Structure 1
Amino acid sequence: MSVASLDHAVWRADQMASCQAGVVASGHALLDRELPDGGWPTASLIELLPQQPGIGEMRLLQPALASIAQRRRIVLVQPPHAPQTAAWSGWGLAAERLLWVKTERTADALWSVEQILRNGSCGAVLFWQTHSRPEALRRLHLAAQAGDAMFWLLRPLPNAQDASPSPLRLALQPARGGIAVHVIKRRGPARDTPLFVPLTMPARVSPGAATDDTVIPFNPISIRHAPVDRLAPAVAASRNAASALV
């Protein structure tokens, strides 16, 4: 076999890799240009590490989720707040395609995610986890590769210091009018500066409102508290009932 015939299978660190599985466009042109093959990879563990919940991470994922929800279900496992179906409907995400899985034990949540990824019943899985052992991350990555679902694992920002089998790791920090994306790991050249991704304003915000793309320096060790992007949709209170599978 000639070297030329293997060229497509060789990844050079100064080049963007090509995903074997499919990709789903993020809906943000600036971000797509920084992702291998121009979108979120399917059948892979994607780590998102927000500085704190509610800084715009769901609005970042909304275009991809809306695309997936047109034909397949979306599963939320251990979200920090109860899903608000009115907000999802306003984003064009049908509530009947949304499943909410809540468990009392971490081991049960990990088992549930692994089974969902392997059985191919859903198009996207979002899993919120505070602490994950390395062997658990490896099992989740293998389970994701066994199916074709989009899989986002959301962990606190300090976990950026830990090793992970995920081929794509992004740290997220709040920025006025959008979100700052730090590329921690990807199959492509290193990026030393954060990427500012503007997010669509909620309808209640005036189109002429001022925006500021100033971001906070990335320092996962010293972070304890962080400002929340007030343009983000309000989090539903726990007393609001939502259609869910528990």
Structure 2
Amino acid sequence: MNTVFRSFPAMHHASTPLPPPRPPAGGLPAAVAAALWRADQLGAPVSAVWPSGFAALDAQLPGGGWPGHGLTEILTPHSGTLEWRLLGPALRSVCAAGQPVVLVGPPLPPHLPGLRFEGIAARQLVWVRADTAAERLWAAEQLIKAQACGALVAWLPQARAEQIRRLQVLAAGFDAPVFVCRPTRALRESSAAPLRVQAAVGLDWALQVRIAKRKGPPLDDALHLASVPGALAAVLPPRLGQPSRWFYREAIDHAVVRPSAQPERRHSAVH
């Protein structure tokens, strides 16, 4: 029998350490680099986003729009009006995609003719009447768990920090955007919501919007977003497009500058 000898490469001894693997180009694996977020940069979306309808606002929102898989707090001084002007364009796109928009506990009944001007179809609008804070919170939780809508807007003015945290945990597994409307005074409280947006009335039909919290560097300046209510956009004359200019001009035209009156001299009588 012929014996065949083969040579094998030398094996490393058990006590000899192997050299560490070289990292790929860029210093980080692709999966790690994609998940890495630096605090001085806007966070990248982990899911789809919905354009807000305001280019200036989208430029400051992580991912370029309203995000899914998380809560977005809308903070206003008076509930029931500014939320529609801020969220109307996004809700319009949800309805255009054939998805329902569910409202939980709005402070005022939805005004269907006005919403129609915003492009929100009545047949795709679901109003959940919940009178107490517990009912509103329970309804919002069940809708998120069931993923039963294309967008959820819930008014929770009395929600506590632990309740917001629970909603955020549930919303992390929900594809659609979840908006929680709260009063402006809630800014003094901590919140687990990754995005908090404060809205107020500005000049000339504008919305003054501040991003109080986002996944990214703080934004100190307020955004001024043109937002003429849908019912007025078709009938508003150009003269009233910027009413502050006309009010200021009329105030100057009607101002009358009068010289200051000289004090009357009194002479004492000499007897």
Give TM class, smaller chain.
0.7 to 0.9
Report the TM-score, using the length of structure 2 for normalisation.
0.74
Q: Match for residue 262 of structure 2?
A: none
Alignment of 1:67-146 (within 5 A): 67-70=93-96, 71-146=98-173
Q: Which residue of 2 aligns with 1:208?
A: 239
Aligned to 2:63, the other structure's residue is in SS state: helix
Residue segments in structure 2 that go unaligned for 5+ positions in a row: 1-20, 246-271
1:214-233 aligned at under 5 Å gives the runs none
> What is the alpha-carbon distance in structure 1 between the residues aligned to residue 171 and residue 208 of structure 2?
26
Q: How does 1:54-73 map to 2 (within 5 A)?
A: 56-70=82-96, 71-73=98-100
The higher relative CO (CA closer than 8 Å, separation ≥ 6) is in: 1
C-alpha separation between the residues in 2 aligned to 1:57 and 1:112? 20
The answer as to whether partners of 1:51 and 1:174 remain within 8 angstroms in 2 is: no
Please give the root-mean-square deviation of Cα atoms over the aligned residues, in Å.
1.7
Query: What one-letter code is carried by the residue in structure 2 that aligns with 1:39?
Result: G
- Report the alpha carbon displacement of residue 211 of structure 1 after superposing the two structures with TM: 4.6
Query: How far 1:30 moved relative to its partner?
Result: 0.5
Secondary structure of 1:38's aligned partner? coil
Report if aligned partners of 1:175, 1:212 keep a CA contact under 8 Å in 2: no
- CA distance in structure 1 between the partners assigned to 2:137 and 2:40 by the alignment: 35
Contact 1:75 1:100 survives alignment (8 Å)? yes
1:180 aligns with 2:208: yes
The gaps in structure 1 that reach 5 residues or longer are 214-246
Matched, 1:4 2:35: no
Report the CA distance between 1:18 and its aligned residue.
0.5
14 and 125 in structure 1: CA distance in 2 versus 1, 3 angstrom threshold: same
> Which amino acid is 2:180 matched to?
L
Q: Give the Cα separation in 1 of the matches to 2:235 and 2:79.
A: 21
CA contact (8 A) 2:74 2:180 kept: yes
Whether the 8 Å contact between 1:130 and 1:155 is mirrored in structure 2 is yes
Q: Please say if 1:50 is aligned against 2:76.
A: yes
Tell me the percent identity: 35
TM-score if structure 1 supplies the norm length? 0.82
Shift of 1:104: 3.0
How far off is 1:105 after superposition?
2.5
- Contact 1:55-1:179 at 8 Å conserved across structures: no
